[in-house]
A and B are shown apart, each in its own frame.
Chain A
Amino acid sequence: MSFTNRPMSIPRYRHGSRVPGWDDAVDLTKEPATVPDPATTPVPAELRAAIEAAMAKYPDKRSAAIPALHAAQSLYGWCSPEAIDQVAAVMQLTPAYVTAVATFYDMLETQPRPIHDDVYVCTNISCSLLGADELFDAMLKAADGDETIHVSSFECLGACDIAPMASVNGEYIGPLDPLDAPRIVDQLRAGEAVLPDKNLRLRACQDPNSHSEGDNGNAPSSERH
């Protein structure tokens, strides 16, 4: 953690009520946005199919809001106003309602972004005790200037056993070293699997009693020093 000795201003949050423009005046001359007309809102067929499949799973169609926004984001890279209009048109909700959902969740992007790889670096307690802040800085530096790799620090990702760790497009990898950061970026650019030897899938249960005699040779990994 790096703080200067000088008094500094407290940064504003990136989300919640303090996103840029949160206190801009509303344009009252415009009509309020209503449910978009499906006839004038073209929606790509695969997006429509994904949203409709999600809506069919729930007793109330609104429950599909998060899956629908996930589908739109994976198509466009972020929840753009057009993407939100398309989701609203298929779900027959107002864009305001869909925007309200999109702005609440950390995994839904409401800032412009190209289609990108997500690198979430966990910076919560267990990871930060073991050097997550240095890892996060190294990741930011390694991916600096590359719009297609989005590095963000994230709430506890639920993998403190491999701390410090990161989630790269949903694959959990750890324990990581700041020196791993350039390799992660290189492998993402090359479209390879990222640090496959550090993938959480390979990790055996640490409880010694969970392994019966000579079963699969999947003994707990060695100690950390």
Chain B
Amino acid sequence: MPKLLLFDNIDEPGLATLPVYERRGGYASLRKALSMSREEVLQQLLDSAIRGRGGAGFPTGRKISFLPKGDMQKYLVCNADESEPGTFKDRELMQKSPHMLVEGVIIAAYAGNISTAFIYIRGEYQIQADLVEQAIADASAAGYVGDNILDSGVSISLVLHRGAGAYICGEETGLLDSLEGKRGNPRLKPPFPAVEGLYDGPTLINNVETLATIPHIIRMSGAEYAKLGTEGSTGTKLVSISGDVKRPGNYEIALGIPSREIIYGLAGGPPSGLPVKFWFPGGSSAPVLTGDDLDIPYDFDSMAKAGSMLGSGAIIIADERRRVLDTALKLAKFYAHESCGKCVPCREGTNWTQKMLQRIYTGEATPMDLDLMASVQEQIIGNCLCVLGDAMAMPIGSMIEKFRPELEAEIEAARAANEAASLQDVVPMGVADELAGPLPVH
């Protein structure tokens, strides 16, 4: 394994403070970047071919180059509203090395000729928010943030904004509305945030991990960074593994290694010793894969080819003991709760999927419900302003497709149990059990 970038000795005591970060070479990349022109810094990011670590995997350098040129008021927003179920990489990064993020934000803002930056952190991350706030204050006092940074004539302000608990605010336009002090409803696109974003100004939005990687790209040069990982997915990536594994946690991997190596090699596999039944490769919004898919290389393109996605790099493992139905209902409940209600397919689709799944438990469902549910998922995908609805539709759709026999068995078992219970009320004991057998097949 090559030397780690983001997680290198991350548990060093005091790394969250400025003196330790500086002793380890912190803010040297900022000095180097400020000695280069904005175009040179941007070229380094383009050369690195780094793709956004938030979920969509869009090339970061190109995103910056889409910003209109000129001296108008532009904004940078760091998306630290990490709420995709299963994802907790940004939490560890911000808690243990907040200055790395601050340095990355300032370099990215410099490359995009941006003078105002925000970090939008989810409200639940109170400890992390305090640490980042302290880091910003210390960095400002040392002249790394604020007016005339390191006497270069460049001025960039940085403000930490705390959210208040809404999954949808991780969606970039919902985040912008929330940052503007409104309900966090996603906006119609276009115009894209790069053209018209925060306060109607051109806005660059990046994930914490992406921005924290930028100081390393500047230090080692974009071309060097591009040698890590695979051609389509360069660099290292933080993955969060949770669920049925022995060593849940964050790991920094070179993209392109086999998924089995992460799940069994790093995380130790299921503690029960049972085989993996299904797993989410990129947060709960990614279509599920099964135990047969463990040898797929872990990178953006291979995951897309396998019909899923790398997403935020959050792997959730469920072993043979787990019921698909339980996880499906958890998912549907979560997305129905978090739907902002702006688009009908998402608001109604998440809600009805939840009700249909609950009907399976109560024995009211029929196997035809699975077809109905699958068609509901199809009608959500691509028909809303944002991808929250899709984020439920894709995993639920894949569960129905891949675990149909199991779901049909659940439906039948609950139906039979329900029938037996109903018959207990109207017929004598003993006769009910006889009557409540499986339905005759015609």
Partners in one complex: yes
Q: List the one stretch of A21-29, A30-38, A156-164, A190-198 in contact with chain B.
A: A156-164
The answer to whether the Cβ of B432 comes within 8 Å of any Cβ in the partner chain is no
Complex interface: chain B residues within 8 A of A100 (CB): 182-183
Q: Assess the A206–B250 pair: CB atoms within 8 A.
A: yes
Q: How far is the CA of A5 from the CA of B178 in the complex (A)?
A: 42
The answer to whether the Cβ of B247 comes within 8 Å of any Cβ in the partner chain is yes
Which residue in chain A gives the minimum CB-CB distance to B6?
Answer: A210
Which residue in chain A gives the minimum CB-CB distance to B96?
Answer: A205
A57 CB to closest chain B CB (Å) equals 5
B383 CB to closest chain A CB (Å) equals 20
Q: List the one stretch of B47-55, B226-234, B329-337 in contact with chain A.
A: B329-337
Interface residues on A, range: 35 or more
* 8 Å CB contact of A158 from B88, B182, B330: B88
Q: List the one stretch of A40-48, A101-109, A176-184 in contact with chain B.
A: A101-109
> A16-B341, A105-B165, A218-B11 in contact; A160/B240 too (CB < 8 A)?
yes
Which residue in chain A gives the minimum CB-CB distance to B272?
Answer: A225
The answer to whether the Cβ of A146 comes within 8 Å of any Cβ in the partner chain is no
Q: Assess the B362–A3 pair: CB atoms within 8 A.
A: yes
Q: How far is the CA of A66 from the CA of B423 in the complex (A)?
A: 54
Q: Assess the A159–B91 pair: CB atoms within 8 A.
A: yes
Interface centre among A3, A105, A126, A206, by most chain B C-beta atoms within 10 angstroms, is: A126
> A107-B123, A124-B284, A201-B127 in contact; A69/B249 too (CB < 8 A)?
no
Q: Assess the A205–B249 pair: CB atoms within 8 A.
A: yes
> A128-B330, A129-B318 in contact; A160/B7 too (CB < 8 A)?
no
The answer to whether the Cβ of B86 comes within 8 Å of any Cβ in the partner chain is yes
Q: Assess the A108–B164 pair: CB atoms within 8 A.
A: yes
- Per-residue CB contact flags for chain A residues 103-132 toward chain B (1 = under 8 Å, else 0) read 011111000000000001001111011100
Which residue in chain A gives the minimum CB-CB distance to B359?
Answer: A7
The answer to whether the Cβ of B248 comes within 8 Å of any Cβ in the partner chain is yes
Q: Assess the A5–B421 pair: CB atoms within 8 A.
A: yes
Q: Assess the B322–A129 pair: CB atoms within 8 A.
A: yes
Q: Assess the B7–A210 pair: CB atoms within 8 A.
A: yes
- Per-residue CB contact flags for chain A residues 1-29 toward chain B (1 = under 8 Å, else 0) read 10111111010010111000000000000
Q: How far is the CA of A157 from the CA of B127 in the complex (A)?
A: 13
The answer to whether the Cβ of B71 comes within 8 Å of any Cβ in the partner chain is no
Q: Assess the A66–B162 pair: CB atoms within 8 A.
A: yes
* 8 Å CB contact of B7 from A13, A155, A207, A218: A207
Which residue in chain A gives the minimum CB-CB distance to B129?
Answer: A170
* 8 Å CB contact of A209 from B4, B91, B318, B327: B4
Complex interface: chain B residues within 8 A of A88 (CB): none
* 8 Å CB contact of B88 from A128, A154, A155, A161: A161
Q: Assess the B180–A60 pair: CB atoms within 8 A.
A: yes
Complex interface: chain A residues within 8 A of B307 (CB): none
Interface centre among B166, B244, B252, B318, by most chain A C-beta atoms within 10 angstroms, is: B166
> A105-B165, A207-B251, A210-B9 in contact; A5/B418 too (CB < 8 A)?
yes
Which residue in chain A gives the minimum CB-CB distance to B414?
Answer: A5
Give the contacts of A144-178 with B (CB-CB under 8 A): 154-163, 167, 170-172
Complex interface: chain A residues within 8 A of B153 (CB): none
Which residue in chain A gives the minimum CB-CB distance to B122?
Answer: A158
Q: Assess the B248–A156 pair: CB atoms within 8 A.
A: no
The answer to whether the Cβ of B302 comes within 8 Å of any Cβ in the partner chain is no
> A1-B329, A125-B316 in contact; A220/B181 too (CB < 8 A)?
no
Complex interface: chain B residues within 8 A of A66 (CB): 123, 161-164, 178, 181
Complex interface: chain B residues within 8 A of A125 (CB): 85-86, 243, 280, 284, 316, 327, 330-331, 334
B358 CB to closest chain A CB (Å) equals 7
Q: How far is the CA of A210 from the CA of B338 in the complex (A)?
A: 35
Q: Assess the A70–B11 pair: CB atoms within 8 A.
A: no
Complex interface: chain A residues within 8 A of B82 (CB): 158
Q: How far is the CA of A123 from the CA of B8 in the complex (A)?
A: 32
- Per-residue CB contact flags for chain B residues 77-104 toward chain A (1 = under 8 Å, else 0) read 0000011111110111001100000000
Identify 26 residue pairs between A and B in the complex whose beta-carbon atoms are under 8 Å apart, listed by A's number: A7-B418, A13-B337, A59-B116, A69-B164, A100-B183, A101-B181, A106-B164, A108-B165, A125-B284, A125-B330, A129-B318, A155-B165, A156-B84, A157-B124, A158-B124, A159-B91, A170-B127, A204-B11, A205-B92, A207-B249, A209-B1, A210-B4, A223-B246, A223-B268, A224-B246, A224-B271
Besides A13-B336, A205-B7, 15 other A-B contacts (C-beta < 8 A)? A5-B417, A62-B180, A65-B182, A104-B183, A107-B124, A124-B284, A155-B85, A158-B90, A160-B85, A160-B242, A161-B249, A161-B250, A207-B250, A209-B252, A210-B252
